[in-house]
Amino acid sequence: MAQMLVKDFDSIVPDKVDELQKLPGVGRKTANVIASVVYDKPAMAVDTHVFRVSERLGLTTASKSPLQTERELVKYIPEELIPKAHHWLILHGRYVCLARKPKCEICGLTAFCRYFAKKL
Ligand code: SF4
């Protein structure tokens, strides 16, 4: 990776997702994280938390893949909020909307949540 960075990118980590993905070992999620966190670009990295929480809330519907979720989210979230929204979704999934047993009883999003509405 270091050799490619020096040779093909003048020793500068690229800021575009497509270029980042050319680096060995860098997949779309990692490329989006770098673009978002390092360069503050409107890139949405979709990990397991973002994927699950988006689906439960109803931000996506029957998404089949992280890429599909990413495309849906960036379509509707204002560009300037995408880097923040990425962290909101991850932290919500890590501490409140847990995979096996979501903590709906302490969640502030029950009024907007498709999963919660279906449960009632
Ligand atoms: S209400 Fe429950 S399912 Fe919906 S986002 Fe909150 S914790 Fe997750």
Question: Do residues 90 and 50 make contact, with C-beta atoms less than 8 angstroms apart?
Answer: yes
3-state secondary structure of 82: helix
Angle, to 10 degrees, between the axis of helix 66-76 and the axis of helix 82-95? 130
Q: Which of 50, 107, 114 to mutate to test the pocket of ligand 1 (most atoms within 8 A of CB)?
A: 107
For residue 26, the CA-to-ligand 1 centroid distance in Å is 31
As for ligand 1, residues whose beta carbon falls within 6 Å of it are: 56-57, 96-97, 102-104, 107, 109-110, 113, 115-116
CA torsion sign for 94, 98, 103, 108 is positive
1-43 and 46-120: same fold? no
Q: Report the top-level CATH class of 46-120.
A: mainly alpha
Q: Which of 50, 56, 92, 100 to mutate to test the pocket of ligand 1 (most atoms within 8 A of CB)?
A: 56
Name the active-site residue from 47, 75, 103, 118.
47
Residues of the chain with pLDDT under 50: none
**What are the structural domain ranges in the chain?**
1-43, 46-120
Which amino acid, residue 79? E
What is the predicted pLDDT for the residue at 12? 95
What is the predicted pLDDT for the residue at 105? 97
What is the predicted pLDDT for the residue at 102? 98
What is the predicted pLDDT for the residue at 70? 98
Query: Does the active-site annotation cover 18?
Result: no
Question: Do residues 26 and 20 make contact, with C-beta atoms less than 8 angstroms apart?
Answer: yes
Domain 1-43 is of which CATH architecture?
Orthogonal Bundle (1.10)
What is the predicted pLDDT for the residue at 1? 87
Query: Does the active-site annotation cover 41?
Result: no
Q: Which pTM does this prediction carry?
A: 0.91
What is the predicted pLDDT for the residue at 67? 97
